[in-house]
Amino acid sequence: MRYQLFYWPGIQGRGEFVRLALEDAGAAYDDVARSNTGMDKMMAMMNGGADKRPPFAPPFLKAGKLVIAQAAEILFYFGPRLKLAPGDEAGRLWLHQLQLTVTDFVKEIHDTHHPIAGSLYYEDQMPEAKKFTHYFLKERVPKYLGYFETVLNKSGGPYLLGRKFSYVDLSLFQLIEGLRYAFPNAMTRIERKIPRVVAVRDKVAARPRIKVYLASERRLAFNESGIFRHYPELDD
Amino acid sequence: MRYQLFYWPGIQGRGEFVRLALEDAGAAYDDVARSNTGMDKMMAMMNGGADKRPPFAPPFLKAGKLVIAQAAEILFYFGPRLKLAPGDEAGRLWLHQLQLTVTDFVKEIHDTHHPIAGSLYYEDQMPEAKKFTHYFLKERVPKYLGYFETVLNKSGGPYLLGRKFSYVDLSLFQLIEGLRYAFPNAMTRIERKIPRVVAVRDKVAARPRIKVYLASERRLAFNESGIFRHYPELDD
């Protein structure tokens, strides 16, 4: 099965959680919207046309005839197929639950620079972004990362499922990388309390296929169009 | 199977999307946190204790030995069991995708009164709430409800899956009920463009078990502690 991933070109964004799984598994895939005519294809699919089940927004994945949207659902779908999730129902549901918590966290990360409206520039909502981010760094980041630390404690580690590696470990890597990029000062402080989460990040960074991917052109750099943005005035 | 639902007592909140499915299916369930010692039980489960897979937040469902959090995942899990979802993988994934879009919408609805921080009172973030809600009513509500209108158009109706009723129709009912409560003026205007969505709302309201439920004490009233809040200053 060769997958087709559809996501905005130029940013890592929510598509990156899917890319990391495809890359770690060595799966065959096209990053469609980054090809010459890819954006036209993506927009046509979003507008639905003859398709009875149009996605609301990217990322979405084409797997044979199936079109699946929402990063967490894409991971849920191909997790067992890519050997990045257990096959039993209870295990799959637990992983999906963790990934949906990642989804919730990612939305709040996005809102640090866009607390008022996605249609406004960051520069037009800076005072609100500062207020939002103050509480985000003080309350929300410790709460979310502390939760994953607790799960790692309970699983016995080194991974969220214990000995078994999964796609949520890859997402945890991406969260830490992105938060470090966006909020280097705050993260220095926060990371002291989440050693098991940081250890997952380190283990992921050392995985052979991930190392190759991160050094390749396929890995876009973090930038100020994405979800994780470095605006020094928002950092501690 | 007798289900145990855990959710904050006193509000409909995210738990209501689960309750509506249980009620429509005539399923046996306990709304645990609304019983005498229920809050203690819920808090103990969230703190994890001996459980290796603690939920991040309510709502969560206990189904035998399984504990499942996230409203959309709970619906995904028991949808086919309650005959509120098709059994095939493609159909289940499509419904789940729609429900995850409901989830994203609900978060934005919540943010109309809490755009800065969940730990602050509404009164402490009123100017930001007004700004947020302005764009929310102008851009986001039409976008989300317009999407569901498109899906209903493509399915042929009367339901999101076409002739087959599903749990996402129940969620669409709840969205319209809640938005009408919170933003009666804006909704009068917006509803003109989404007749198929409104027709789903009407069909759900007429379902026998839903009628009984809505008239019972089990249906909590909307109030200003919940997700849908009526603050006249935020409405058009």
B80 part of contact set with chain A, CB < 8 Å = no
- Find out whether A161 and A91 touch, Cβ atoms under 8 Å: yes
The per-residue pLDDT for B213 is: 98
Confidence of residue A105 (pLDDT cuts 50, 70, 90): very high
CATH of domain B89-207: 1.20.1050.10
The per-residue pLDDT for B95 is: 98
The per-residue pLDDT for A236 is: 78
Interchain proximity B120–A97, CB inside 8 Å = no
Interchain proximity A54–B150, CB inside 8 Å = yes
What is the C-alpha separation between A46 and A156, in angstroms, rounded? Answer: 42
In the predicted model, is pLDDT for residue A47 greater than 90? Answer: no
As for the ipTM of the complex, it is 0.98
The per-residue pLDDT for B50 is: 67
Interchain proximity A90–B66, CB inside 8 Å = yes
B54 part of contact set with chain A, CB < 8 Å = yes
CATH of A89-234, one of 1.20.1250.20, 1.20.1050.10, 3.40.50.1010, 3.40.630.30: 1.20.1050.10
The per-residue pLDDT for A67 is: 95
Give the DSSP letter string of chain A.
--EEEE--TT--TTHHHHHHHHHHHT--EEEGGGSTTHHHHHHHHHT-TT-SS--SSS-EEEETTEEEESHHHHHHHHTTTTTSS-SSHHHHHHHHHHHHHHHHHHHHHHHTT-SS-TTS-GGGGHHHHHHHHHHIIIIIHHHHHHHHHHHHHHH-SSBTTBSS--HHHHHHHHHHHHHHHH-HHHHHHHGGG-HHHHHHHHHHHTSHHHHHHHTSTTSPPP-TTSSS---GGG--
Domain A3-78 identical in fold to domain A89-234: no
Domain boundaries, given as residue ranges, for chain A: 3-78, 89-234
Which residue type is seen at B70? Q
Interchain proximity B139–A117, CB inside 8 Å = yes
Dmax over Cα atoms in chain A, in whole Å?
52
Minimum CA–CA partner of A56 in chain B: B147
Interchain proximity B117–A101, CB inside 8 Å = no
What is the C-alpha separation between A76 and A80, in angstroms, rounded? Answer: 8
In the predicted model, is pLDDT for residue B26 greater than 80? Answer: yes
Interchain proximity A117–B96, CB inside 8 Å = no
In CATH terms, the fold of domain A3-78 is Glutaredoxin (3.40.30)
In the predicted model, is pLDDT for residue B46 greater than 90? Answer: no
Chain A 122-181, residues with CB within 8 Å of chain B CB atoms: 128, 131-132, 135-136, 139, 147, 150-151, 154-155
Identify all chain A residues contacting B151, using CB atoms and an 8 Å cutoff. 53-54
Question: Residue B164's closest CA among B220, B218, B57, B87?
Answer: B87
The per-residue pLDDT for A48 is: 74
